[in-house]
């Protein structure tokens, strides 16, 4: 059927052709991976980041932005839905490893799909990773309805005059890129496709003697070498950022584009990535929106990963769903910062865990809900890092002492409280200090209320969560959409809040259905539906009548 040439379709349908000029802002989200605020704009004297620093000077720069998890998939899940990942079952790292994927309530839609429904062309460059795809490629898939394109390099595939949302991930600083160029392991070979060209494109090599070693690491050549490679990779991210911003200028789009530059969580280093300390959740964030943001402004108020969805939707003039848990950061609808923000750690790869965190502008409170296990669990991917291997060897030999040894204790403190101003690395737990009794009691009360409200699905045993989403271990299948014709108009409906895609004639790509279609007689139409977390429906084939 797809080989048929379509007859005339009503002109109001956007099928890849020109659309009317639109003065709504374009939105460009540049997200580097696994990177704390190691940028010149944030006072880092080692980083060479002239392009990012220039963007920061033209933007509002946030100094207290945090992700909702210290690892990619849960963090991205909270961001894409605008709801904390644990409130819709997406808290475990790569849910598919538990035999399911997250299934949000049927009326919930990811914010890029809402932008797409509003007429935006939405694109990402491959890394989705928001916990709604199955299999070994789960980081690069998800419901087809969310995106117009999922492997685009930029915004140039859109129709003329159409506003865009582009979510572009820069993977050069990913944890696996800190490994040596030639990593002698199976995983090192598997991850080499990006790492080798990434390393061979370094513009400079950082002198390991110049880097600062956080106090929770031993100061050794191995540790310094890993941190130095991290800085080399940051240089590549800076160069790519400059290329994207130059392309935006070249296309004449900079003045009507809201640009956000941030990262998916903190550094891809041990005791940073996967953890709820600032090293794992504190991220750089800058927002440039000409006419709406004042260049050079610095904001110290709390920002959470759930704030992006309402910010982008409000900028595009899309009504905000009531379920959103974040706030609008810029523009006419900008809202005040909350008193507290939250983060969570659940299963990490092959290791079960349950940790929750809440912070205000100064203090960080962490509750370890499985305190009888060590902090350092056996995680194969993390163990590829040379500095991690060295620390494990030193610990096993009884040679790890002082602050670095704290992380290797056999059991955890049930509660942790840190003054992030006087203790930026969170190495002095104040939970047992009588001088902080009142502050501890306040955070306990906040955490108790959050854990008791019944929304945190990460508190369920994972097999129970799997049964809730995929009964009997089988992924539910979305029912096929239903077609109805009246007065030359085709109406498509789907059950359980499923999103519908359609194709007319031989035009490529699934268009997102949002209103009845006006069709000439005998025009071939295909349609399919998907509920998030379920398998796609079978394809419906029909003809215009």
User: What does residue 536 show for φ and ψ, rounded to 5 degrees?
Assistant: -65, 155
> Which residues lie below 8 Å from residue 163, measured CB to CB, with a gap of 6+?
22, 24, 25, 26, 27, 119, 120, 121, 316
pLDDT of residue 460: 97
Nearest to 35 by CA among 283, 312, 298, 391: 283
Give the C-alpha distances (Å, rounded to integers) separating 363 from 37, 43, 216, 402, 422: 19, 22, 19, 24, 10
Reduce the DSSP state of residue 56 to 3 states and report it. helix
pLDDT of 507: 77
Do 26-175+257-336 and 482-543 agree at the fold level? no
- Give the DSSP per-residue string, 205-271: ---GGGSPPPTTS---HHHHHHHHHHHHHHHHHHHHHHHHHHHHHHTT-GGGEEEEEEESSS-SSTT
Q: Provide the pLDDT for residue 461.
A: 96
367 DSSP β-pair partners: 356, 415
* Contact indicator for 529, 498 with CB cutoff of 8 Å: yes
Question: Looking at the domain 26-175+257-336, which fold is it?
Answer: Alkaline Phosphatase, subunit A (3.40.720)
Question: Of the residues 39, 69, 71, 72, which is catalytic?
Answer: 72
Does residue 17 register a pLDDT over 60?
A: no
In the predicted model, is pLDDT for residue 285 greater than 60?
Answer: yes
User: What does DSSP assign to residue 491?
Assistant: E
Nearest alpha-carbon partner for 387 in 178, 177, 209: 178
What's the confidence (pLDDT) of residue 509?
86
Q: Which residue has the tokens 């062309």?
A: 121
- Whether 72 is a known active-site residue: answer yes
- Tens-place pLDDT, residues 262-282: 999 999 999 999 999 999 999
| Residue 457 burial (C-beta neighbours within 10 Å; 0-12, 13-18, 19+) | buried
Report the pLDDT averaged over residues 426-442.
Answer: 98
Which of 177, 175, 532, 496 shows the shortest CA–CA distance to 348? Answer: 175
pLDDT band at 6 (very low <50, low <70, confident <90, very high): very low
HSE, CB side, 13 Å, CA atoms: give it for residue 517.
31
pLDDT tops 70 at residue 19 = no
Give the pLDDT confidence of 363-387 residue by residue, as tens digits.
999 999 999 999 999 999 999 999 9
Query: Which residues on adjacent β-strands are paired with residue 167?
Result: 29, 124
Task: Give 474's contacts (C-beta < 8 A, 6+ positions apart).
Answer: none
Give the pLDDT of residue 155.
97
Position 216 scores a pLDDT of: 98
pLDDT bin (cut points 50, 70, 90) of residue 487 is: confident
Sketch the domain layout of the chain as residue ranges.
Answer: 26-175+257-336, 355-473, 482-543
Architecture of domain 482-543: Sandwich (2.60)
Of residues 146 and 523, the one with the higher pLDDT is: 146
Q: Using pLDDT thresholds of 50, 70 and 90, give the confidence band for residue 521.
A: confident
Q: What is the mean pLDDT of the chain?
A: 94
- The pLDDT, as a whole number, for residue 8 is 29
Q: Which three-class secondary structure state does DSSP give residue 381?
A: coil
For residues 310-326, average pLDDT? 98
Summarize pLDDT for 339-351 with one digit per residue, the tens: 999 999 999 999 9
User: Of the given ranges (256-270, 406-420, 503-517), which has the lowest mean pLDDT?
Assistant: 503-517
- Calculate the CA 479 to chain-centre distance: 29
Q: Could you tell me which residues come within 8 angstroms of residue 129 by beta carbon, excluding any fewer than 6 positions away?
A: 72, 73, 76, 138, 139, 140
3-class secondary-structure state, position 500: strand
């Amino acid at each position: 059927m797809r080989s048929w040439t379509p007859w005339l379709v009503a002109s109001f349908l956007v099928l890849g052709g020109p659309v009317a000029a639109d003065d709504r802002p374009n939105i460009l989200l540049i997200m580097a991976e696994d990177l704390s605020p190691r940028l010149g704009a944030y006072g880092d004297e080692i980083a060479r980041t002239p392009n990012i620093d220039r963007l920061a000077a033209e933007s509002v720069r946030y100094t207290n932005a945090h992700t909702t998890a210290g690892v990619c998939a849960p963090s991205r899940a909270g961001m894409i839905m605008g709801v904390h990942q644990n409130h819709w079952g997406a808290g475990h790292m790569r849910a598919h490893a538990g035999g399911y994927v997250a299934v949000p309530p049927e009326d919930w839609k990811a914010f890029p799909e809402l932008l797409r429904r509003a007429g935006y062309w939405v694109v990402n460059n491959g890394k989705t990773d928001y916990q709604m795809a199955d299999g070994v490629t789960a980081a690069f898939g998800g419901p087809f309805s969310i995106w117009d394109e999922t492997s685009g390099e930029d915004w140039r595939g859109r129709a003329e005059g159409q506003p865009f949302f582009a979510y572009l991930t820069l993977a050069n600083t990913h944890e696996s890129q800190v490994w040596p160029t030639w990593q002698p392991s199976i995983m090192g070979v598997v991850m080499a496709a990006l790492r080798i060209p990434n390393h061979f494109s370094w513009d400079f090599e950082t002198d390991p003697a110049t880097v600062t070693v956080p106090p929770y690491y031993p100061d050794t050549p191995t540790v310094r070498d890993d941190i130095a490679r991290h800085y080399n990779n940051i240089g590549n991210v800076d160069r790519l950022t400059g290329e994207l911003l130059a392309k935006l200028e070249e296309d004449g789009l900079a003045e009507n584009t809201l640009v956000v530059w941030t990262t998916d969580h903190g550094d891809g280093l041990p005791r940073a990535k996967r953890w709820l300390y600032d090293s794992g959740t504190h991220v750089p964030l800058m927002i440039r929106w000409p006419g709406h943001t004042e260049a050079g402004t610095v904001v110290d108020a709390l920002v959470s990963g759930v704030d992006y969805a309402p910010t982008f939707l409000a900028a595009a003039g899309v009504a905000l769903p009531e379920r959103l848990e974040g706030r609008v950061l810029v523009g006419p609808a900008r809202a005040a910062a909350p008193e507290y923000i939250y983060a969570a750690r659940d299963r990490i790869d092959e290791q079960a865990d349950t940790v929750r965190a809440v912070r205000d502008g100064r203090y960080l409170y962490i509750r370890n809900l499985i305190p009888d296990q060590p902090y350092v669990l056996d995680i194969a991917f993390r163990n590829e890092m040379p500095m991690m291997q060295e620390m494990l060897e030193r610990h096993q030999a009884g040679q790890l002492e002082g602050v670095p040894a704290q992380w290797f204790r056999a059991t955890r403190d049930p509660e942790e409280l840190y003054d992030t101003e006087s203790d930026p690395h969170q190495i002095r737990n104040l939970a047992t200090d009588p001088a902080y009794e009142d502050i501890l009691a306040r955070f306990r009360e906040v955490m108790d209320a959050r854990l008791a409200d019944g929304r945190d699905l990460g508190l369920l045993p994972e097999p129970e969560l799997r049964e809730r989403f995929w009964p009997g271990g089988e992924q539910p299948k979305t029912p096929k959409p239903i077609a109805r014709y009246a007065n030359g108009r085709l109406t498509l409906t789907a059950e359980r809040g499923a999103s519908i895609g359609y194709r007319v004639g031989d035009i490529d790509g699934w268009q997102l259905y949002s209103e009845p279609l006006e069709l000439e007689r005998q025009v071939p139409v295909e349609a399919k539906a998907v509920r998030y977390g379920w398998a796609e429906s079978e394809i419906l084939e029909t003809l215009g009548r």
